[in-house]
Every structure is written in structure tokens, then in C-alpha cells.
Amino acid sequence: MIFAIEVAIGGLLVGVMYSLVALGFVLIYKSSGVFNFAQGDMTLLAALALVGFLTIFPLWLAILAALVLMIALAIAIEAIVLRPLVARPPLALFMATIGLGFFLQGIGQGIWGTDPKGLDIGISDIPFKIKGLLISQFDLAGGALAGGLVFALVWFFQKSRTGRALRAVSDDHEAALSVGIPLRRAWAISWAIAGLVALVAGIMWGSRLGVQFSLSLIALKALPILILGGIDSIPGAIIAGLVVGASENLAEVFLGPYVGGGIQTFFPYLLALVVLWFKPYGMFGREIIERV
């Protein structure tokens, strides 16, 4: 039983980091109405940049520099990709993010190389005991950081004036424009936040798995979470991330041996499929409000 709890807690901590990646998608979807295919590549770029900056700066300055880079990137994306596509069909925007993804990948690997790199942010991976439970120190730190960021983002969106404006933009961007909300700034802000999320995810996952091309594939982890939670729900992304993290870990440990392991990679999709059957908008996806 203790072992099961340890497995579940380990899964939950990893799940928080999944939530974070999924949140990156949700934020962009809510504000620009587009599924941002480049989110994984933004994560890779952020991690690559951080590793690069670490060779010249101390840790805090390197993180700051990477953050500045992600914000500059957000402003550039707004000006170069989003602005010319105003009032075009959403599919055009989606295609543009695919192009953007390849572009970012190319830039990142062009500057910092394609060889796998380690990223050490100084948190050791020695497990420690709380009340008889073995818990990974690293996962705990990651979970706490991701959890703190998630909490801050939720507060920002629900309570701040800018957050309210971003929610308005996501409901009806022309109406938002009509009350004086500057769309360009709103888009730049939400992409900058997605950049911040990408950076934090890049730090956590990069120091876990190493920084290399495959880091951009953590976006695939986000897909079942988005299906489960609904692509436009912040609480949905959080809870679905936790559910996926815990359940895949439990499945791997307890069901894995019977089927030869490797359940972790497809279990979340299975779960998502089952949920879709019953809740087509995801567990928390916002319903399309239709009134006559």
C-alpha cells in the first residue's frame, strides 16, 4: 500500500509538470483561438537557450536572459505571424504555427547545436523520506515550481485587469477591440506567458531528460491532457495533468508487468478516448453557450 501511495505521489508530481505544458496550449488557444503547434518547439528553444546562456552567465542571469528571449519572441510572433492573419480563417493561423514550430527548431539547433546537452539547475535527485514515504526531491521541487506558476497564472487570469481583458479577447476579439482593449498587446502578452510556461517546462523537463530534440515531443504528452481537460479550460489542464500523471504511473507499475511494460506512453490516450465518449468537450471544456 505504501508503495502504491509512493507511486501515486510520484505520478502526481510529474503530473503537475504535464499540467504546465498543457497550460501553454490552453493560454494561446484562449487568447488567439489557435492550437499552437509550436508549443513543444518553444519549450525546446527555451531549454536550448538556457543551456547556451549558462555557459556565459550564472544560473539566475541565464534564466532571466532566456525569459527575455521568450518575451522578445512573443512580440515578434505577434508582429510577423499573427497580425497579418487578422480576420483570416483559424486554419491559416494553425498552419502558421506549424511553420513557426519548424522555424524555431531550426533556429535553436542552428545556434546551439543538435547534440544532447545536460542541464543542471542544482537540485539533486536523491529521494528522501517523509512519514515513511520515499519521494523524489527533484519531482517535489518540480511539482512545487510548476504548481506555484499554475496558481499565479490562474490568479492573473481570474483577478487582474489584464487577465480579464485577455478573457474578453478570447470570447470575442472584435468586441474587445470595441471597448479599447489593444488586441496586439493582448496577443503579445499571452504569447509571452506561453513563452514563460515553455521556459519553466523546458527547465524542469530539460534537467530531467536532457536538452535535445526529443524535448519538443513533450507536447505529445499534452495532447491527451487537452482532450481530457478541454483545450480552453485552465482548471481542466491542471486537473487532467494530475490525473494523467498519477494514473499512468500507477498503470505502468501495476499493470505494466502483465503486458510487458511501456503502458505509460499510450495509457493517457486510452484514458482520453474513454472520456471523450462521455464528455465531448472534455471534463472541463467550456460548453458552447447557445441561446435563442
Partner 1 sequence: MNQNPLLRVNNIEVVYEHVILVLKGVSLEVPEGGLVALLGANGAGKSTTLKAISNLLRAERGEVTKGVIEFMGNRIDRKDAAEVVRRGIVQVMEGRRKFEHLTVEDDLLTGAYSRRDTHLVKKDLDLVYSYFPRLAERRNVKTGYISGGEQQMVVIGRALMARPKLMLLDEPSMGLAPLLVQEIFDIVVRLNREEKVAILLAEQNAAMALQVARYGYIMENGRLVLDGDADTLRDNEDVREFYLGLTEIGKKSYRNVKHYKRRKRWLT
Residues making contact with partner 1 (CB under 8 A): 86-87, 161, 164-165, 167-168, 170-183, 286, 289, 291
Task: Give the nearest distance from C-beta 33 to partner 1 in angstroms.
Answer: 13
Decide if 206 contacts 215 (C-beta within 8 A): yes
Decide if 205 contacts 212 (C-beta within 8 A): no
Q: Is the Cβ of residue 118 or residue 184 nearer to partner 1 in the bound state?
A: 184
Q: Is the Cβ of residue 31 or residue 105 nearer to partner 1 in the bound state?
A: 31
Produce one character per residue of 190-211: b if its CB has 16 or more CB atoms within 10 Å, e if not.
bbbbbbbbbbbbbbbbbbbeeb
Q: Is the Cβ of residue 91 or residue 126 nearer to partner 1 in the bound state?
A: 91
Task: Give the nearest distance from C-beta 65 to partner 1 in angstroms.
Answer: 31
Scanning the chain, the segments in alpha helix (DSSP H) are 2-32, 39-54, 59-77, 90-112, 137-159, 161-171, 173-178, 183-209, 218-229, 234-254, 256-259, 263-278
As a residue count, the chain comes to: 292
Q: Is the Cβ of residue 268 or residue 285 nearer to partner 1 in the bound state?
A: 285
Task: Give the nearest distance from C-beta 71 to partner 1 in angstroms.
Answer: 21
Task: Give the nearest distance from C-beta 276 to partner 1 in angstroms.
Answer: 22
Q: Is the Cβ of residue 208 or residue 286 nearer to partner 1 in the bound state?
A: 286
Task: Give the nearest distance from C-beta 5 to partner 1 in angstroms.
Answer: 38
